[in-house]
Chains A and B, each alone.
Chain A
Amino acid sequence: TQLLEQSPQFLSIQEGENLTVYCNSSSVFSSLQWYRQEPGEGPVLLVTVVTGGEVKKLKRLTFQFGDARKDSSLHITAAQTGDTGLYLCAGVKGSARQLTFGSGTQLTVLP
């Protein structure tokens, strides 16, 4: 059973368009992370959000943590072909900071 559901599962857009990916949880986590994974590689951390309502920006990427700390969104402005990849949200919990990953969103940005 996936504790973290992501939508959409697949997204194909043209370069220059905007997009939003959603991550919804049935649980409250101490923090939530977003990763990007490219083919043949492991996930790479993009951002960690900790406080309910928090908004973080990373160039053209905007991350938001819901007030109840159970949902999050990733918004990309003016997508580029280099943004293509698998985007994963992950809930952080426990003394070892173990991760529970979402189902993933495969983004393809077409030139």
Chain B
Amino acid sequence: DARVTQTPRHKVTEMGQEVTMRCQPILGHNTVFWYRQTMMQGLELLAYFRNRAPLDDSGMPKDRFSAEMPDATLATLKIQPSEPRDSAVYFCASGLVGLAGGPLTYEQYFGPGTRLTVT
């Protein structure tokens, strides 16, 4: 049963600390997405990769957030330094698209999320 995994599931940290969230996409998928969900803003796209190359990270604060894919089985989202307003649930999703963008019925598979609380 292939699924996206995320660690940790919960993280409580103090303001100013570094936070690293990890995601293992479904084997064989070539796109990876990071989302943030809050009550106020809903689900927001932060960054995404295709074949491990970053395509767009305009959705996240550049000064403190960074997203990388060191290899095909691992995507990371790092916040340094963390702030209370970063408290949210962070989701990773993966999918498979072809060179031309793939079929219009393309599906993203979401992980269970990392609930981050910054005090």
Range of interface residues on B (Cβ < 8 Å): 20 to 34
CA distance A23 to B4 in the complex (A): 27
A50-B104 contact given A43-B110, A96-B50, A98-B45, CB 8 Å threshold: yes
Q: Nearest residue in B to A31 (C-beta to C-beta)?
A: B104
Does A111 make an interface contact (CB < 8 A)? Answer: no
CA distance A97 to B110 in the complex (A): 14
Docked complex: B16-30 residues within 8 A CB-CB of A: none
Question: Mask for B46-67, Cβ within 8 A of A = 1, else 0?
Answer: 0010100001100000000000
Q: Hey, which chain B residues are within 8 Å of A88, CB to CB? A: 42-43
Q: Hey, which chain A residues are within 8 Å of B31, CB to CB? A: 96-97
Docked complex: A24-59 residues within 8 A CB-CB of B: 30-31, 33, 40-45, 48, 50
Main secondary structure of the interface of A (DSSP, over half): loop
- One of B68-76, B80-88, B93-101 contacting the partner: B93-101
- Whole-angstrom distance between the Cβ of B110 and the nearest chain A Cβ: 3
- One of A14-22, A75-83, A100-108 contacting the partner: A100-108
B45, B95, B102, B112: which contacts A42 (Cβ < 8 A)?
Answer: B112
A48, A99, A103: which contacts B105 (Cβ < 8 A)?
Answer: A48
Q: Hey, which chain A residues are within 8 Å of B113, CB to CB? A: 40-42
CA distance A64 to B33 in the complex (A): 27
Footprint of B on A, CB under 8 Å?
A: 2, 30-31, 33, 40-45, 48, 50, 88, 92, 94-104
